[in-house]
Chain A
Amino acid sequence: MGNGKGSETLGSTDDKHKMTLFKDDRAEDWGAIVVSVLIVAVVIVMTI
């Protein structure tokens, strides 16, 4: 349990039981940052 890095890994090694599509919560955190950057970029382009 919880061997992955990050804030909240339900650390099942079995993909079927994990609560995220990412490897662990640290990866999910980075994913959220990337998605945020994309959203901000799209919004800026749309409102220029």
Chain B
Amino acid sequence: MSANTMQGSAGSGAGFFTKLPGALPGLALIVLTMVVIKQWIEPWMGAQELFGVKGWLIKVTHLNYILLCIILGMLYRNVLFRGTIPGFLADGFKLSRLLIKTGIILLGSLYTVQAIVQLGAFAIFLIGGFVILSIVLVLWLGSVFKMDRSMTGVLANALSICGVSASVATAPAVQAKASDVAYAIATILGFGILTMFISPFIGHALGLTDLQYGAWIGTGILNSGQVLAAALAFNPAVEPGSAVSVAEIWNIMRVISIPFAVFAVTVWYWSGKGSEQAGGAKKSLGTLLVEKFPVFVIGFLAMVVLTSFGAFGDAGIKGGPPASETIKMLRLVMQWVFGFGLVGLGAYIDIKELARAGGTPLKIGLIVGITKYVLALIVVLMIKDYLVAI
């Protein structure tokens, strides 16, 4: 993901509402892309007969609107605009994370408090274990390969929690340079793009259920947007018990752990420095919680509580009454909001930037990334009888 090749924005320091009109052309392109995919491309793929199979493109390649959104976003940036989104469109694409976060908040309408407690307890166990394992593995490999301590700290959280978010959150605490963060982000996003596209195939080939698949990718894939994309690519349904509903619980648990992991890596980093140097830079866990807690999670939890109290009518949970019209429309809106966000996510994937990943960070990134990805699949298959359906 590159921040360097997006142009646009009104003057430095301008507020959101000042910049919003300038974002409309880019937003219009995103919306138009999604409309074309949903109204024409996806139905066309479903109707085409290839190798004697109707809808071969969807049934065999598992291409759906989610993957098409990402692919088109990537094509815009890397082919059509040759690596740089033009200034008049760039601000619109900068709304993609806002849209993904909005979709995740709305996703709270898929759960009840009881389901969150059941699934969340399991997610905490798995996520917690994998976060600790990844951090320890990266710190150890960092010392084996004699990698710079700041780079090791950034990579440890990038590979253990939430990719971009964790790299950026950790950077100031371990005195990392911008290039350290860029390397870490390029490494985890490069790996993530690969897993985002191959995971649905593996999931279908192994006959994984939505529950198993969601738990696997929620644990094994590093970036929030990519978890979302991989889940919806496996099963585009946005409903209770679908792959995305499971994967996002895992993802939310991981995002919540950011302040704790930043604290742990900061303690490790400064433990190797003199106490005088450390004095001005270390932050307490409380300070990190206040500064780094992802507030949009509160919105997600509020949606869960409102759904549990029936604020939107029947939620359509398995075994219960069918979903109300409000809930059905919310789920339809979510599909579109995610689609918009993922076109933008695709447009942030700069192939040239990914080529910056290399050397020791890439080696460690691949070792830990593949270990985590494969191990998560093995663990999920081993504990499949204990996973709680929602």
Residues of A near any B CB (own CB < 8 A): 1-3, 5-23, 25-33, 35-36, 39-40, 43-44, 46-47
Contact of B94 among A7, A20, A29 (CB under 8 A): A20
Residue A47 contacts which of B101, B102, B171, B325 (CB distance < 8 angstroms)? B325
Contact indicator A33/B295 (Cβ below 8 Å) = yes
Which of A7, A17, A27, A40 contacts B294, CB < 8 Å? Answer: A7
Q: Do A43 and B330 have beta carbons less than 8 Å apart?
A: yes
Contact A20 B295 (CB under 8 A): no
Would you list 7 pairs from A and B whose C-beta atoms are within 8 A, ordered by A residue?
A6-B295, A15-B12, A17-B4, A20-B98, A32-B102, A39-B330, A47-B329
Q: Contacts of B325 on A, CB cut-off 8 Å?
A: 47
Question: Across the interface, do A1 and B172 meet the contact criterion of CB distance under 8 Å?
Answer: yes
A7-B165, A7-B169 known; A39 and B292 CB under 8 Å? no
Cβ distance A14 to chain B, nearest Cβ, rounded Å: 6
Tell yes or no: B38 within 8 A of A by CB. no
**Which one of A3, A7, A26, A31 lies within 8 Å of B255 (CB-CB)?**
A7
Q: In the complex, what distance in Å separates the CA atom of A20 from the CA atom of B293?
A: 18
Q: Is B19 in contact with A21, judged by CB distance below 8 angstroms?
A: yes
- Nearest to B224 among chain A residues (CB) is A8
**A2 near B20: Cβ-Cβ < 8 Å:** no
Distance from A15 Cβ to chain B, minimum over Cβ atoms (Å): 4
Within the complex, what minimum Cβ distance (angstroms) separates B153 from chain A? 13
Number of interchain pairs (Cβ within 8 Å): 142
How many Å lie between the Cα of A11 and that of B181 in the bound state? 11
Q: A2-B169, A8-B168 are in contact. Are A19 and B329 (CB under 8 A)?
A: no
Cα separation A40 to B106 with both chains bound (whole Å)? 8
A23-B4 Cα distance, complex, nearest whole Å: 17
Chain B interface residue count, CB cutoff 8 Å, equals 59
Q: Is B114 positioned at the interface, with any CB of A under 8 Å from its CB? A: no
Residues of A near B255 (CB, < 8 A) are: 7
Q: Is the CB of B303 within 8 A of A10?
A: no
Chain A nearest CB from B330 CB (Å) reads: 5
CA distance A3 to B170 in the complex (A): 10
Q: Which 9 A-B pairs have the closest CB atoms?
A: A8-B165, A32-B101, A7-B294, A29-B295, A33-B299, A15-B9, A29-B296, A36-B105, A47-B325
The secondary-structure label for the interface of chain B is: helix
Q: What 0/1 readout, one digit per residue, does chain B (317-341) give for beta carbons within 8 Å of chain A?
A: 0000000111001100100010000
Residues of B within 8 A of A (CB): 1, 3-4, 6-16, 19-20, 23, 91, 94-95, 97-98, 101-102, 104-106, 162, 164-165, 168-172, 176, 178, 181, 255, 258, 290-296, 298-299, 303, 312, 324-326, 329-330, 333, 337, 348
Q: Are B176 and A1 in contact (CB under 8 A)?
A: yes
**Shortest beta-carbon distance, A23 to chain B, in Å?**
8
Contacting pair B171 A28 (CB below 8 A):
no
B168's contact among A11, A31, A32, A36, by CB below 8 Å, is which? A11
Say which residue of A1, A18, A21, A23 sits within 8 Å of B95 (CB atoms).
A21
Q: Which residue of chain A has the shortest Cβ distance to B107 in the bound complex?
A: A36
Supposing A43-B330, A44-B312 touch, asked if A33 and B97 sit within 8 A by C-beta, the answer is no
B168–A10 contact, CB under 8 A?
Answer: yes
Give the residue among B102, B170, B303 with the most A Cβ atoms within 10 A: B102
Tell me how far the C-beta of A16 lies from the nearest C-beta in chain B, rounded to whole angstroms. 5
Distance, CA A33 to CA B206, complexed state (A): 37
* B172 A35 Cβ-Cβ under 8 A: no
Q: Are A2's CB and B171's CB within 8 A?
A: yes
Let me know if B94 and A32 touch, CB within 8 A: no
- Shortest Cβ distance from B300 into chain A, in angstroms? 9
Residues B105 and A32 in contact, CB atoms below 8 Å apart: yes
Contacts of B330 in A (CB 8 A): 39-40, 43
Contact partner of A22 (CB less than 8 A), chosen from B98, B104, B291, B337, is B98
**What is the CB-to-nearest-CB distance from B159 to chain A, in angstroms, rounded to a whole number?**
16
Chain A contacts of B12 at CB under 8 A? 13-16
> In the complex, what residues of A have CB within 8 A of residue B11's CB?
15
Question: A31: nearest residue on chain B (CB-CB)?
Answer: B98
